[in-house]
Amino acid sequence: MDKTGSVIFLLSERTNRYIPVGTPMSWSSAQSLCRKKYTDLASMRNQQEKEEILKVTDPESRWWIGLFRDSWKWSDQSNSSFRRWNYGEPGSGNEFCAVLNKRTAAWHDISCYQKFSFICSVPMLKVLKVELIAEGSVDLNDPTGQEAILEQMEKHMRDQGIHQFRLRWRKQPDGEIFHKKKEEQKS
């Protein structure tokens, strides 16, 4: 019988799921609803997020996003230098909130009191479970061995281009991480 156990990979690489809400509201009402039901109004920190948001919105429409004029910051406080303003935008005056124009795929600043549909975001956490099998006399419950295995897994993930993650062992109810796997009964 081999000892087996699992390591849980918590990839905290920030990914989001986007929820379009078709009920027109002012920017602050949209932000409140997103914060109550989801997380916040959607932020577009890069081209990939912009493309994901464009996939869930209707064509020929404007959608509130989480960008507002306080040096043009994101509602969820995330940082990004990514900008996709329409030509001539942002303007001046009393236009303190941003909408995504689906037709042009660009942003426009506009009065926060106007009513538009909006996009909420929900952060997603990727979890990956891996089963390890030790052959021979290797003691997988030895803390030194466990640390060495985690270090090798971390190196492998970084070599694969994954840099934001957390690895940890998941303890069983009895406090052990690994148990001997019972042989499957032959029928």
CB 145 within 8 A of CB 162: no
Identify the residue whose tokens are 């959607």: 42
Considering the domain 16-123 in this protein, what is its CATH number? 3.10.100.10
Give first-to-last CA distance, the chain, whole Å: 18
pLDDT by residue (tens digit) across 124-160? 766 666 677 776 777 777 888 888 888 888 888 778 7
pLDDT by residue (tens digit) across 31-54? 999 999 988 999 888 888 888 888
Cα dihedral 115, 35, 28, 89 in deg (nearest 10): -80
pLDDT at 19 over 80: yes
The overall pTM is greater than 0.75: no
